[in-house]
């Protein structure tokens, strides 16, 4: 359950899965999903290992929190105002494999790391003690749950965007605008939390 909640907020991996599904197929998007889930498991291990240290660093360095706000706001504005134009493919883009893209997007994701730091802190205080010293079987089950929670959630994003694309024309522009608004909202909420909490 914790893994599914962690994968629900729209992040770069979710956007990549949605865009790949819209432009290609759900099968192509799955090439992103599995490596992203592996990356999430690695982030959870990092969060388990360095939970207290990382939380203290972020709490004592307000610039990290403001940087996240600014990045989310700029990205949200860019996606909202971006115009999708059909352009001839005259420039050659750097080609990156979908599995590598999924892994990179999954690993370079400070919001997911923050989520797991907070989630593990909550689990430690309210439900059970969770760190690398727990029983190996319990740790393995937790990590398997994280993996499958991420896979199921990203697959759901892909299926939803596929169904939406069948019903709507010019879906890319609408999806970008929705994502832009959501990122801006997340940025504003994060700013309010920094200033007033």
Residues 56-95 pLDDT 10s: 777 777 787 788 778 767 777 776 776 655 444 445 556 7
Distances (CA, A) of 39 to 21, 43, 141: 20, 6, 17
Helical spans, DSSP H, in 24-135? 26-60, 62-81, 98-107, 110-126
**Residue 61 CB neighbours (<10 A):** 11
The more confident residue out of 176 and 28 is 28
Percent of the chain with pLDDT over 90: 0
pLDDT (0 to 100) of residue 87: 45
pTM score, whole prediction = 0.63
Nearest to 186 by CA among 4, 1, 11: 11
Find out whether 31 and 151 touch, Cβ atoms under 8 Å.
no
The three-state secondary structure class of 97 is: coil
Answer whether residue 143 shows pLDDT above 80. Answer: yes
Average of per-residue pLDDT values in the chain:
75
The more confident residue out of 36 and 9 is 36
Find out whether 106 and 7 touch, Cβ atoms under 8 Å.
no
Answer whether residue 130 shows pLDDT above 80. Answer: no
Alpha-carbon distance of 68 to 74, in angstroms, equals 10
Answer whether residue 2 shows pLDDT above 70. Answer: no
Q: Position of tokens 């997911």?
A: 112
Find out whether 44 and 117 touch, Cβ atoms under 8 Å.
no
Average pLDDT of the segment spanning 154-175: 72
Find out whether 31 and 137 touch, Cβ atoms under 8 Å.
no
Helix (H), strand (E) at residue 14? helix 12-23
Average pLDDT of the segment spanning 11-35: 82
Average pLDDT of the segment spanning 136-148: 86
What pLDDT band is residue 169 in, cutting at 50, 70 and 90? low
Q: Tokens for 197, please give them.
A: 């909490």
């Amino acid at each position: 359950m914790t893994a599914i909640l962690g994968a629900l907020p729209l992040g770069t991996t979710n956007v990549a899965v949605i865009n790949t599904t819209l432009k290609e197929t759900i099968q192509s998007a799955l090439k992103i999903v599995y490596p992203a889930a592996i990356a999430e498991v690695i982030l959870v291990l990092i969060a388990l290992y360095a939970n207290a240290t990382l939380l203290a660093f972020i709490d004592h360095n307000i610039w990290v929190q403001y940087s996240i706000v600014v990045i989310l706001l700029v990205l949200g504005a860019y996606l909202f105002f971006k115009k999708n134009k059909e352009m001839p493919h005259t420039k050659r883009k750097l080609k990156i494999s979908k599995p590598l893209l999924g892994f990179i997007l999954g690993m370079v994701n400070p919001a997911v790391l923050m989520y797991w730091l907070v989630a593990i802190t909550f689990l430690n205080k309210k439900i059970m003690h969770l760190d690398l010293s727990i029983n190996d079987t319990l740790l393995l089950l937790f990590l398997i749950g994280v993996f499958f929670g991420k896979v199921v959630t990203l697959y759901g994003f892909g299926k939803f965007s596929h169904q939406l694309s069948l019903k709507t024309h010019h879906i890319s522009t609408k999806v970008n605008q929705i994502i832009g608004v959501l990122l801006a909202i997340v940025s504003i909420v994060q700013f309010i939390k920094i200033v007033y909490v």
